[in-house]
Structure 1
Amino acid sequence: MTRILVTGAAGFIGFHTAKRFLAEGVDVVGVDNLNDYYDPQLKADRLTLLAAEQGFDFHELDLADGSAVAALFDSNPFDAVINLAAQVGVRYSVEAPDVYVQSNLVGFANILEGCRHGKVGHLVYASSSSVYGANTAMPYSTKHSVDHPMSFYAATKKANEVMAHSYSHLYGLPSTGLRFFTVYGPWGRPDMALFLFTEAVLNGDPINVYNEGRMQRDFTYVGDVVEGIYRVARRPPTTDADWSSDAPDPGMSGVAPFRVYNIGNSEPVELLRFIRAIEEATGCEAKMNMLPIQPGDVPATYADVNQLMSDTGYQPSTSVEEGVARFVHWYREYYKVRTLA
């Protein structure tokens, strides 16, 4: 592997992923549309760091622009494509589903076409734990049904998985979907709970704690996630000889080089423990507004990552307390927040 495409390179996970491959001596072409869903300055600062790395080439473009995506693939041979560009956010998808159609469906279809015509060796793409929807069996397994999404965002992510399978089957494109579970860490998104909570706690403002703090999430440190992405990207899937069409395993395929993995910490953490880690890292007490669960949210997520561990050697190793402390340290440095004595 010498040259790859990382979409969403100015985003949280895309930035860390590009850095990891560059550190391994792989040339990275990064693309992003630099939209203003959250602070564009944060994206610009991530790109500034990437631009300082040898082997990084950035293109500003929208994946929904089919001609621009086709031109990118025509001028760049890629060994692999890591598609991390998407319109994110469960709650925003309730307000603006049309944005998700363009970014997550049209944009992903254009990536599939680029991979097909560019004869890309492996497509790795971001899915989401939200695809499990109304399923309450824990831990979430790729063997479980994902037929009942609870948000339009989740529906677009499931659509990505079935779109990828069709291209894997029709055109022999090896594809791997990664269902991310609540990724957090330095350079994280301002709309995520850790960022919002840290900002509020340091300012002495109250935080909204939904489901009375009983929400459970499989908080996964971004460094562990990137390690998983790196391992998966270097291992294109093949058809599975043991797959049965009478009782099909939805996480793999006997008719296509296709895989879907959970990528999480495999340890459910209650939101109140997460908040306590923020308090410890900041040295400040959180003021909490206890509220009911929000529409589109699920009360708990918990990943079964055994298949990913077995296939790639993936092993998450960062505790919530350690990961939160690293984020708070970054936040204080980036925003020049005074460190308490």
Structure 2
Amino acid sequence: MTYLVHILLNNVIPLTIMIVVGVVLYRAFKLDIKTLSKLNFYLFSPALVFKMLYESQLSLNLLGQTLLFFFVYFAAMYLLVELVIRVRRYQGGMVPAMRNSVIFYNSANYAIPLNQLVFVGDAFTLSIQIIIMMMQSLLPNTYGIYSVNASKKNDMKDTLRTILTLPVIYIIPVAFFMKGFDIPVPGPIYAPINYVSDAFIATALVTLGVQLGSMKWQLNFSDVMLSNLLRLCIGPAVGFAVVLLLGIEGVMAQALVLSCAVPTSLSSVLIAVEYDNEPEFSSQVVFSSTIFSIFTVTLVIYLMKFIP
């Protein structure tokens, strides 16, 4: 019960308040959601990724093990959601929308505080989560955008050109390079990076609220609940199976399983809005999975004690 209340008070309620602010702002001023999504893609998200990677404490061994887990887990979830897509016979934009809602999860503003709640400020588990966050920042900005454009049969050159304009794919190697060679960031530059990165969560949540506020709310209950089931229940179960398969044990195994238990990422909404690909479905999935995660994440935390 303590975990449930803590997650509710420190994760879900603050996120919900910011989403409601976005709804109210849209109803009052009809905010331009395309402008908000571009701010997230080209300014706030790259600043957050750079800051977290530059300030992290990562070893090559930890990086290798975590990346191995991530790629095996990602492949397993991808194959699983592809099976569901074929069984449900989704067509057009629903194919990448359902796929993105399951394979892209909230590894930053939800998973990082959750990690530090469960492991009480452990720098080792935080480093694991930051690596996961790095990959969950890179993939939506590359594969996620490619899959949406491919479903619309857009020209491949235009799709590639779009991906190459996204700052986050350059920010990650730059952050590692500067960290690896101990290159300091000048104070007058680092201060704006801090300001912008601190604004990412608020801007992304307000964007989600604006999208929710502009919807007609014709809930596609079965598809939304299916996505929630895959992300919140099947996701951590697959994570547990992968750590067993790879022989990962102890605190690292627990941190990796916990990283798989979080709700759908805001990135799926940002992609859906930016490229007009099932934005209503994506927004409903993010909002509902965040609410339901109160219960599913609490259960995962309880079951983690059985991980050897």
TM range (shorter): under 0.3
Report 1 or 2 for greater relative contact order, CA contacts < 8 Å, sequence distance ≥ 6.
2
More helix by share: 2
**What TM-score do the two structures reach when normalised by structure 2?**
0.27
Larger Rg: 1
